[in-house]
Amino acid sequence: MTRSGNIRGGLALGILVALTTAVGCGSASDSSRDAARSPAVTPPAQVAAQPPDVTAEGARPRVVILGDSLTAGLGLPVGQAYPTLLQRRLTDEGLNYEVVNAGVSGDTSAGGLSRLEWALAGDVRLLVVALGGNDGLRGLPVEELHQNLARIIERAQAGGIGVVIAGMEAPPNYGNDYIVAFHDVYPALAREYHVALVPFLLQGVAGSEVLNQADGIHPTAAGARIVADNVWAVLRPLAIERRREGHPGS
């Protein structure tokens, strides 16, 4: 598909996201329910409140997913949030990582940047950046989104951490120029910093009544499985590559 085709596709997705990506609603505590049932994943409330425990004996190398309520799993038990599903897939592949759900409801790219030091505590090997939905919802300047995400990537790469960036789309109420500029931030960063790109985190989920909760905003358990598929397609090769380079699971 040509670049113009990609943008047109992005615009269509942006219209869907206008209905489904009000990611600032709710609180992180809702997504932490039943955390005891999924002890392999560090829950979002812990990451938001304090740096995770990095001194525990036998602590595993980490995959951190830095995001908002879509990552926190708002409205779902933590066992059904997509970071937990990714943990299961890594384990099934014999890749010995601990997934840290660093999703905080309402977070913008600036909020993610402000808590990055805590989120990257410990032996973090891979970082998935899933931020921007709230920036678009609030019509925040695209330049700030680009700058904040760039700084997150730079800090991670300075620590030798592999990065995946997950794209998001802006709602249409700010006009086509904003939508296109917002859409372009993610592939531009992927090219600039040579990081892996999930083109659209909510691909196959946004706009679906069946795959979103009653609020029309956050994915259902079935929707979260599709989000996990979207991320896994990009995350898995990186995890395997790092294993071959002598990282966890080798």
Annotated active-site residue in 68, 135, 183, 218:
218
For the question of residue 218 being annotated catalytic, the response is: yes
Residue with tokens 């090769």: 237
98 membership: H or E segment, kind and range: strand 98-103
Cα separation of 148 and 153, whole Å?
9
For the question of residue 69 being annotated catalytic, the response is: yes
For the question of residue 229 being annotated catalytic, the response is: no
- 30 is written with which tokens? 């809702």
The string of DSSP codes covering 108-119 is: -HHHHHHTHHHH
What does the DSSP 8-state code read for residue 59? P
The string of DSSP codes covering 159-212 is: TT-EEEEE-----GGG-HHHHHHHHHHHHHHHHHHT-EEES-TTTTTTT-TTTB
In the sheet that 62-67 helps form, which strands lie side by side, from edge to edge?
98-103, 62-67, 124-130, 162-166, 196-198
Annotated active-site residue in 69, 105, 107, 109:
69
Q: How many helices (H) and strands (E) does the chain have?
A: 10, 5
Q: Give the catalytic positions in this structure.
A: 69, 215, 218
